[in-house]
Structure 1
């Protein structure tokens, strides 16, 4: 039945395509016949007007000559068209459309395709999604649609939604996981990060409450502490934010990837001298001398200095791209400077050196999503 249906469909398409070729002569002849009839009627009308005296002899002769010229042109055009468009040419075109094109397509399919391979149903594809993230999500969604009270399923799906920047779905999944499984530090922190990303980096009240509860449950989490310090900075509580950033910097191990970000926020809150004294071994960010010098600068000068150091790091990475920590610092720095386009370019540069499929590339993508950088299209 399938092949019969395909054959009928092919025949229908061929008829549609060849119909204009089959009818073109008839249409052209009909149009020419009508034009000739109009001119003949005009000659007859001119004769009647001449006999009734409505038009003079000279005018009648002039009009007759003009109408006769048009009549001859129409009649000769009909003959020329009939000879120019021959049935033989139409037959050749129809043969190409109805035979050659379908035959070529069939040969290509038999050569390049796999006609004997049965289609894999969607259910079977969902059972074995492999590394296809979309199929993995679809499988989890189908399971949760049938089992909406599976808290563990929501707990697994929530961070996947967040990594793929489906922030509305991520918030729903985190809230369902918390409702069904209860609160814990990872779930609360994940919910807070989702809310922050959805609000373009602003630590809203719900996010701050979730972070405070997460910090009470599991003290010392650097992500929760950083966002709480950021909320103080955004609220205009500069001194408290500076103390919070300084405390987190002091507790951070040497070489921690978030140190340059803390240094930048300390500069913005007037704590550059604190950063200089507490992180003498901080890797490849601003030097202690740079940070100390920044404490005497105006905010505009300090911002210009930071931008200059970031541009310098960008240039170094283009010469030596095999520096994962450098790319992570560059993405962070541009995100802190609120330069979305530069942050995306830095992310793209890092992913060229460290492909997204690898562990290091995944770290870069996770960092960009955490900072609220739009990763859509960067990995393509």
Structure 2
């Protein structure tokens, strides 16, 4: 209602400005005939004055009086036609004034009529936040994930000290084959959030792949730090052994590989890679000619196999099946992280949005329910969760199964 009152005030103001010229006070105008008569009278009085002073003779005065009389008669004959023309001009001005007033008055009426005919005054407003959410949930899963990555990157540009953001984006970069970006993100996460085995492993793996399998000093330091935090993670010794191999210490590398295999669990997924590496080093020690050496990076535990081009394909170039698997793996990683750290409000909202994109509304509702449990008593966080639920179109629905 207030909006319509504002519209009415603005319309009235515009109409008043348009009609302002018609309200100006008219200046009194002296009729031309009366002005001429006054001039002629002055001329006659001047002739009498000159005669009294003896400046002119009577014959000249009579001749001048006759000329003034002739002008008066001529002026009187033309007065009637001028009066008719003046009346016509006045009528024309009045008609133009009435047309101007009518058009000015009709402008708001026509505008309102066109809006009621072509507009939608009955529809509720659509805030920008809701339009942005609707746009983010449209399209396929890959484009939505790309949009989410862009949002996280923008967040990190604005807030580079957001350790949680670096921790979220780092494994995604690694899966996309953006190894240098992944290494930087893992390094920032370790600096801001503290060193953990997972982050150190991710940093070492990303750096190793970014350097084409060369074990640099940062990789060696990360491996040693992992062994300090978790001595049971013997697989990271592979990176230290690779460093020996690359430095030319083949005998020492072979001994390390054998010791790693002896201590490795039988079901370790990286045993085959270490065995291949040991076989290759033994062949070198025997002096055999190796035509094409296998990339050392493939010996890194948990390292994704490089594509033929040396980089993993972009998400937009993946097949539908690979794309779905990629999206699902990212969502599952986020869900697993939230199980360990439930105090990440943005993470819960992001997880619910991802489930919504995948069409899993029940899981989205369960994620929001878990968020409420973790933020019980925090009014501001609960309000944010309710707002997100409304924006996702999940308000009033109930999950079919618990998270």
For the criterion TM > 0.5, the same-fold answer is: no
Which structure is richer in relative contact order (CA contacts within 8 A, separation 6 or more)? 2
Larger gyration radius, structure 1 or structure 2: 2
TM-score, normalised relative to structure 2: 0.39
